[in-house]
Structure 1
Amino acid sequence: MLDTHGRSIVQPSIEKTGKFLLKIGLNANHVTVIALIVGISASCLVYFGMPAWGVVVLWISGFLDAVDGSMARQSNTSSSWGTVLDVTFDRVVEGGILIALALRHPDPAILFLFLLLAISIIFTMTIFLTVGAVSDKQSYKSFYYQPGLAERTEGFILFSLMVLFQPHLKLWTIVFLVVEIVTGLQRLLEAKRILTD
């Protein structure tokens, strides 16, 4: 939701950063890999008990994840391979945060909630990617980008709440789980509408 409706607010910063990185010789795929490394570093910080720093680094990773696509469009080098890297590395970063929190909180109830959350993310992303692959609709991405209640920014907000407020980890995981399920159902209904017209 925030990615779809709030992108214009941060787009100038994303574009300026992209132009700067292109000027110093980096390309979009370089930045995709850097975003992955930064994101994994966020997981390490969370695991080693530095949640605030972990969240700061996670958001830097997320910002770079937006910059790489802008760089590809600015340099006219958008590619299917770049899209695969981008989407795959996003899931690795998210998985890393869940693993770091699971290692710090091996309570069976929390681990079960993490399992449900992971399944809900898989459910939502499967719909998102499948609709993107089969739909004729276009967006600013290299495939149709289905809007929804939880997009990348909402996911980062919820991961941040889980990391920063670990005494209430069960609560924030349940909130995240519900948001993901609602998003998945929302996208499934939209898919039925646009693919059966």
Structure 2
Amino acid sequence: MLDTHGRALVQPSIQSTAQFFLNRGLSANQVTVMAFLVGVSASMLIYYDMPIFGVIVLWISGFLDAVDGSMARQSKTTSAWGTVLDVTFDRVVETGILLALALKYPDPKILFLFLILAISIIFTMTIFLTVGAVSDKQSMKSFYYQPGLAERTEGFILFSFLALFQNQLVLWTIVFIVVEIVTGLQRLLEARRILKD
């Protein structure tokens, strides 16, 4: 939701950062890898009881993740391989946050909720990626990005809440699960509408 409706507010800083990296000879895929490495380090910071630094690093990773796509479009170097790297690395970064918290809190109730959260993310992402692959609709990205209640920014906000409010881990995990399921259902209904024979 925030990505769809708020992107215009941050796009100037994304574009200027993209141009900065392009001027220094970096490619979009190199920044994708940079975003991935920064994002994975967030998990380690969270695991080693530095959640504030972990969340800051996570958001830097997310910003770089937006910059790489802008770089590819500005330099006209968008590629299917870049899209695969980008989407795959995004999921690994997110999984890393869950893994770090699961290792810190091996309580069966929390682990069960993390399992349900992982399933709800898989459900939502499966619809998102499948619709993007089969839809003729276009977006500014390399394939159609379905809008929904939880887009990347909302995911980052919720992962931040998990990391920062670990004493309320059960509550924020349940909220995250509900948001993901609602988003998945939104996307499924939209898919039925736009892909209807």
RMSD, aligned α-carbons: 0.5
Alignment of 1:110-149 (within 5 A): 110-149=110-149
Tell me the percent identity.
79
Q: What is the one-letter code of the residue matched to 1:134?
A: V
**Is there any run of 5+ residues in structure 2 with no aligned partner, and where?**
none
> Structure 2 length normalisation: TM-score?
0.99
Matches within 5 A, 1:89-108: 89-108=89-108
- CA displacement at 1:99 relative to structure 2: 0.3
Q: Give 1:72's aligned residue.
A: 72
Instruction: State how many pairs are aligned.
Output: 197
Q: Which amino acid letter does the alignment assign opposite residue 133 of structure 1?
A: A
The CA deviation string for residues 92-121 of structure 1, in whole angstroms up to 9 with x for no partner, is 000000000001111100000000000000
Within 2, Cα distance between the matches of 1:42 and 1:50? 9
Matching of residue 33 in structure 1 with residue 67 in structure 2: no
Which residue of structure 2 lines up, in the alignment, with residue 171 of structure 1?
Answer: 171
Tell me if 1:18 matches 2:18. yes
Deviation (angstroms), 1:49? 0.4
Distance 2:7 2:59 in 1: 15
- After the TM superposition, which segments of 4 or more aligned residues of structure 1 sit over 2 Å from their partners? none
The residue that corresponds to 2:43 in the other structure is 43
CA distance in 1, matches of 2:187, 2:23: 38
Per-residue Cα deviation, 1:67-87 (whole angstroms, up to 9, x for no partner): 000000000000000000000
Correspondence 1:186 to 2:186: yes
* CA–CA distance in structure 1, aligned partners of residues 109 and 26 of structure 2: 44
Q: TM-score, normalised by structure 1?
A: 0.99
**Partner Cα distance (2:145, 2:47) in 1:** 32
Match of 1:54? 54
